[in-house]
Chain A
Amino acid sequence: MNYKNRLFVGLISVVILSSLFHLQLTEMGTINRAQAAVFWWEFRIPRLVSALIAGAGLSVSGLLMQNLFRNPMAGPYVLGINSGASLSTALLVLGGFSWMHSTIGLVGSALIGALMASMLMFAVSLRVKQTSSLLIVGLMFASFCGSIESVLQSWASPEQVKQFFLWNMGSLQQLNAQQLPWFASLFFVAIAWSFGRVNALNAFVLGQEQAFQLGVRVKALRISMLAITAVLAGSITAFCGPIAFVGLAIPNVGRQLLRTQDHLQLLLFCLLFGAFFLVSCDVLSLLLEPYFSLPINVLTSLIGAPYIAYLVLRRA
């Protein structure tokens, strides 16, 4: 077996092992059988599935964005896609719309926000070619969205503020069993789309002019890439809150370990390693829970931010 096959087999095993360990940790003392079954379906499974899907989905979203922007430093968080989703969610939660509490309201608003933010950033990227400038615009956009959220908070009731604050910390516990099918189907549609476009994505690595000469319908591909990244980042942000750096870091790890631009390998890697990474982060946060509470967004930033800084320093 060659290096790459061993790597993928290894990844599949760690995803399974970390998932089993994760299920083990969410054990809750002695309860009777009926309670255990409810607990299993209402709490353990949704939390594990949240972690798996959020990790895999954000990584794939980052991979697609890095291809679309032709920039390895692109990702849903640094480009403000999460912020867009966050802002539109804030408008609904803090604005006090009651239908916000329905799944459709939550997902819809985050999706619209994510889509608008990604279109805005894409328009900016057509004018601004430099990586650093693009990232600065992304950061400015994120902080602008943050400020509006602060303004909204000063108007909202304490109850609404608390609800929004909890969401904003990022949590894998918010998803309930009724929302699970929604979350999973959005994810599967996006992933199936990506796997169906591997050939075009590979050609797109050369830039749109060359991709066009290789028979790629460039405009259609660009629009669908934007839509798919927004669906992934938007739905994950809606259900789990903003989770930083996963989308930016994991594809870079993949390219470094696999030394390739083949998107079939990279997609598989992002799915497996992204899922493993977020499940592991959640395992860590569950293990530390008795001592202090560590929200998932804090944990991914603690690990992701130094890695990204290292990448930037290495390239400079």
Chain B
Amino acid sequence: MIRIQNAHFGYDKPLIHVSNLILEAGKVYALVGLNGSGKSTLLKTLSGQLALLEGEVWLAEHSLRLLNAQADLRAKQLAFVSSRFEGVDQLSVFDYIGLGRSPYLGAFGRLHASDKHKIEALIEHLKLSHLKLKRTKEISDGERQLVSLARAFVQDTPVLILDEPASFLDFLNREKVLDALLDWVKDQQKCVLFSSHDLDLCLEKQVPILTIANGQMNRWQGDSKKELIELLTAQ
């Protein structure tokens, strides 16, 4: 669950204001807005890369300010997927997904049997078994993004934030990514927030939409694409 109360987001000057917003567990939220509207700023603040300017934000049970001071605790509350993972030389898909467990590991970074079991089960579930032993540089963009989802899933945090996770993907892989997210929250009671430019897909899958326009973030209540575009482009 994410709770935002009377908060200001921005680099150093306030760019976005959110008066009161609760994102529930068990749902996937899409964040839409034009380029430069502040989507990234918001996601960067929620994921601890930027400081919160004013107000209060809670991720699960914890205040964002507290989490930002405690790196290890934060990594157990929030996982983050960026829009593109380019792969690392000689890093296998299995090891990459395994890095999602690193907040729970000791100094030597050894995976326990239970960690391995978790990773194997998830790989099976996401139908990625054929990629397991490949290197992260050898697979396609779409595969890499699904594998990045898997890494975030094994991190097993109550909140998952994704910054345009499908922007570099074709229509088929975009749908795959969103389906994987929807499938995951269904039985896990996690709270997922992702930014997207794909209005059609978000409407088609009926995910709850949050809009950013004119320095305000709101839960969108309409139902047609035309209304949504009008809202996003209104001055």
Q: Which residues of A contact B (CB under 8 A)?
A: 72, 195-199, 201-203, 205-206, 209-210, 212-217, 255-256, 259-264
Contacts and interface: CB of A to CB of B under 8 A. Distances in A.
B71 A217 contact: yes
How extensive is the interface on chain B, given as a class? 20 to 34
B80 interface: yes
A262 B109 contact: yes
A202 B99 CA distance: 8
Given A214-B99, A214-B102, A216-B71, A260 B92 contact: yes
Given A198-B108, A215-B102, A264-B108, A255 B89 contact: yes
A195 B89 CA distance: 22
Given A203-B99, A203-B102, A212 B71 contact: yes
Chain A interface main SS type: helix
B49 interface: yes
A241 B56 CA distance: 56
Contact of A199 (B48, B92, B108): B108
Contact of B75 (A201, A213, A264): A213
A255 B75 CA distance: 28
Given A201-B109, A213-B78, A262-B109, 14 more contacts: A199-B106, A202-B102, A203-B99, A205-B91, A209-B82, A210-B80, A212-B48, A213-B79, A214-B102, A215-B103, A255-B90, A256-B90, A260-B90, A260-B91
Interface string B86-103: 001111100110011011
A72 B109 contact: no
B219 interface: no
B39 interface: no
Contacts of A209: 49, 82
Contact of A214 (B103, B108, B135): B103
- Identify which of B85, B88, B99, B155 gathers the most chain A CB atoms within 10 Å of its CB: B99
Contacts of A199: 102, 105-109
B76 interface: yes
Given A215-B72, A255-B89, A255-B90, A261 B95 contact: yes
- Identify which of A199, A210, A259, A262 gathers the most chain B CB atoms within 10 Å of its CB: A199
Contacts of B79: 213
B88 A206 contact: yes
Contact of B95 (A210, A212, A214, A262): A262
Nearest to B91: A261
Interface string B178-220: 0000000000000000000000000000000000000000000
Nearest to B48: A212
Nearest to A217: B71
Contacts of B78: 213
Contact of B109 (A202, A206, A213, A217): A202
A255 B135 CA distance: 12
B37 interface: no
Contact of B88 (A205, A213, A214, A217): A205
15 contacts: A72-B89, A196-B107, A197-B107, A198-B107, A199-B108, A205-B88, A205-B99, A213-B48, A214-B102, A214-B155, A215-B74, A260-B91, A260-B92, A261-B91, A262-B109
